[in-house]
Chain A
Amino acid sequence: MRVPDGRTIVIRPVSGAWLRLDQHLAALGEYTDLLRTLSRHRLRVRYKQTALGFAWAVLQPLLMMVIFTAVFSVLARMPSDGHPYALFAYAALLPWTFFSTAVSNATGSLVTHTQLVTKVYFPREILPLTYVLAGLFDFAIGFVVLLGLMAWFDVPLTVHALNLIPIVFLLAAWILAVALVLSALQVRFRDVGVALPVLLQVWMFASPVIYPLSVVPQAWRGWYLLNPMAGIVASCRDVLLEGTPPAPVPLAMALIVTAAVLPAAYFFFKHAEATMADVI
């Protein structure tokens, strides 16, 4: 634990303390070095003792793309809004893989670091957060691969692709919200970790990853877009493949839902944090 020189810290029972957002963020600010070191650490150890090393960051989404193309394009003839299916799938797999990998790693992050949680104090949200940051790095690598694929399929990159930057920020914020809730729940209920693969599977089918948003009936759209991943994935396709600005409604929905859920998720996490070490 670190307290700036001369500052006084008062430790009280749980009631109410979890609402002090200013204190939480100040404490997090004190630990930016840990956040940086741990995030770098995630990347460094992930591919240790693997023969292909960092090539896996490129291979993973590529292999998924090949499989999806084989199954959903060659066999199932899924519509792809007129794009080559491989490219169509990859543009969605890029944000989706970021989401699913970061969420599943982050969910177990507190439990896999039991030794730390019960022995050392630091703001616990750092643990799930590091997996989100590490996921950003994979996203960047995957994006370079996408550029290669676009060149291969002769799809031009337009200035609207710059919209990807705020979209990725939104995606990271949404991933963090989900990760905070699930990791805190996992501490008390290990059921979460068990159910997670199924949940992610269902979630993928509830997002326009293998099919275009255009096939979702208008009558369902309102409910469908409550899932921020729907708006985010569709927006990625808009700015990258269509070369247009993102459609406003899906993106706005994703933004509103994330803006509402992230603070609530953070408070929930901080409330659980106070006694996490007792039940982990």
Chain B
Amino acid sequence: MIDVRFEDVSKRYRLRDGRSRRDFWAVREVSFDVGRGETLGVIGHNGAGKSTLLKLLSRITAPTAGTITLRGRLAALIEVGSGFHPELTGRENIFLSGSILGMRRREIVEKLDRIVEFSGVAPFIDVPVKWYSSGMYVRLGFAIAAHLEADILLVDEVLAVGDAAFQIRCIERIAELRRAGTTMLFISHDLTSVARLCDRVALMDHGRLIASGAPRDVIREYEHQVAASAARAVADATDIAAAPQARVRDVRFLDADGHELAGASTGEPVRAIVECDVTSELPDAVVEVFYYSRDGRTLHCQHSTAVSGPRLTLEPGRRRLEFFCSELGLQPGLYAIGASIRERRAAGAIDWWYGVKTLQVNPGKSVRGYFYAPHEWRWADAGSAAQHHPADV
């Protein structure tokens, strides 16, 4: 039995730029089915059309062409703290937000206790939400959404909210709904969760559905794509010696115990191991690790001594360098990896390795803005002896 069917669905936006108009196809001729009780993951880069897909499905906006058929009650598991009224108490907002999401009053009364408990803001439930911290706000909003009763559930990037414990509770709740036979569409940058929770994965690229199938295969396809597309852009910018004295063989990522990482997490430690084969000695070398976006921009670069400090001499043979980062700054997503070897005083690289590997970054510490940077806080007036506190989440 098919619960969700997309048939040749397209969505065009008219972008107005001053006087000129431009058409932008956010979703183009997309067709797929989701069977009852099935969980379909949708992945792709930012702007690939994933969120538009959900907007069409939840009737927030109408398609430009094509037909979508839904069977059963549909609910969207999205962060709706924005539906809160700051002057109302948490309890009052549960009723408000719940009914906005399509719950009946009776249903909310029944679930009130469970929602409050899930959110973890029970002591403050009768306080106006304007006094809530942003974390409490988000948790309460999510707790309401997580208790919707639906045959079809849309989950859009909600797992990046709250602290680690709350994220685990969210994943558990989604797994629970899935066991109960809810049909799900799951949109996330968290490829590890996608692989774990989904029966099937669809890959979107520039509004089109370009691959669909077993999670492992589609995720691998996505990784190849990101690596290849970054490589095309990087290739134009590099110039490598014909017969290099050294070659990068591989870059591997390890966790704290030295095991190869399936995915790193924002704000968590990560170790990158660069393996290279050196044929003749390089007395003063620089080794670099690049983190590229899919369009080949360098988002981050780690390097050995480049200006002053201990000189790096690469002697012939297989050499391995470790780059340690105590708190990874990259946002959740998929990044293409590159590495290069060059001589400190020379222009141009001896070897530049790219287009092979990607690093998957999963939601860890929650980030607002473009990247995570470690920071802490203390009372500014208390003098230098005051204790520093890590900023949570």
Roughly how many angstroms separate A48 CA and B73 CA in the complex, as a whole number?
Answer: 36
The minimal Cβ–Cβ distance linking B269 to chain A, given in whole angstroms, is 35
User: B100 and A12: CB pair below 8 A?
Assistant: no
CA distance A231 to B157 in the complex (A): 54
Bound Cα distance from A2 to B149, whole angstroms: 10
Q: In the complex, how many angstroms separate the beta carbon of A113 from the nearest chain B beta carbon?
A: 8
Residues of B within 8 A of A118 (CB): 60
A17 pairs with B105, CB closer than 8 A: no
In the complex, A185 Cα to B57 Cα: how many Å?
Answer: 25
Minimal beta-carbon separation of A85 from chain B (angstroms): 39
Binary per-residue interface labels of chain A (1-39) against chain B in the complex, 1 for a CB within 8 Å, 0 otherwise: 111111111111110010000000000000101101110
Q: Is A41 in contact with B73, judged by CB distance below 8 angstroms? A: no
The one of B69, B76, B105 that contacts A9, using a Cβ cutoff of 8 Å: B69
Docked-complex contact B99 and A9, CB < 8 angstroms: no
Tell me whether B232 is interfacial, beta carbon within 8 Å.
Answer: no
Taking the closest CB of chain B, its distance from the CB of A229, in whole angstroms, is 32
Q: Which residue of B lies closest to A118 (CB)?
A: B60
* Contact yes or no, A33 B99, CB < 8 A: yes
Tell me the nearest residue of chain B to A126, going by C-beta. B100
| Given A37-B99, A120-B60, A121-B58, A115-B66 contact (CB < 8 Å) | no
Q: Does B134 contact A (CB under 8 A)?
A: no
Instruction: Find out whether the CB atom of B63 lies under 8 angstroms from the CB atom of A278.
Output: no
State whether B151 touches A5 (Cβ < 8 A).
yes
Q: What is the number of residues of chain B that contact chain A, defined by CB distance less than 8 Å?
A: 41
CA distance A275 to B63 in the complex (A): 9
B67 contacts chain A at the CB level, 8 A cutoff: yes
Would you call A1 and B104 a contact (CB within 8 A)?
no
**B359 on the A face (CB < 8 A):** no
Give the chain B neighbours of A160 by CB distance below 8 A.
Answer: none
Cβ 8 A contact of B101, one of A7, A38, A120: A120
On whether the beta carbons of B74 and A3 are closer than 8 Å, the reply is yes
Partner of A119, one of B71, B73, B78: B78
Q: A48, B87: Cβ atoms under 8 Å? A: yes
Q: Which residues of A contact B103 (CB under 8 A)?
A: 33
Contacts A3-B70, A120-B83, A120-B100 given: A11-B95 contact, CB under 8 Å? no
Tell me the bound Cα distance from A38 to B75 in angstroms: 19
Contact yes or no, A11 B83, CB < 8 A:
no
Contact A116 B64 (CB under 8 A): no
A45 near B: Cβ within 8 Å? Answer: yes
**What residue in chain B is nearest A4 (Cβ atoms)?**
B73
**CB atoms of A45 and B73 under 8 A apart:** no
- Give every chain B residue within 8 A of A38 (Cβ-Cβ): 96, 99-100
| Residues of A181-213 contacting chain B, CB below 8 A | none
Q: Do the beta carbons of B71 and A33 come within 8 Å of each other? A: no
0/1 string, B71-100, CB within 8 A of A gives 1: 111111010101101011000100110011
- B6's closest neighbor in chain A, by CB? A11
> 1/0 contact trace for A248-280 toward B, CB 8 Å?
000000000000000000000000001111100
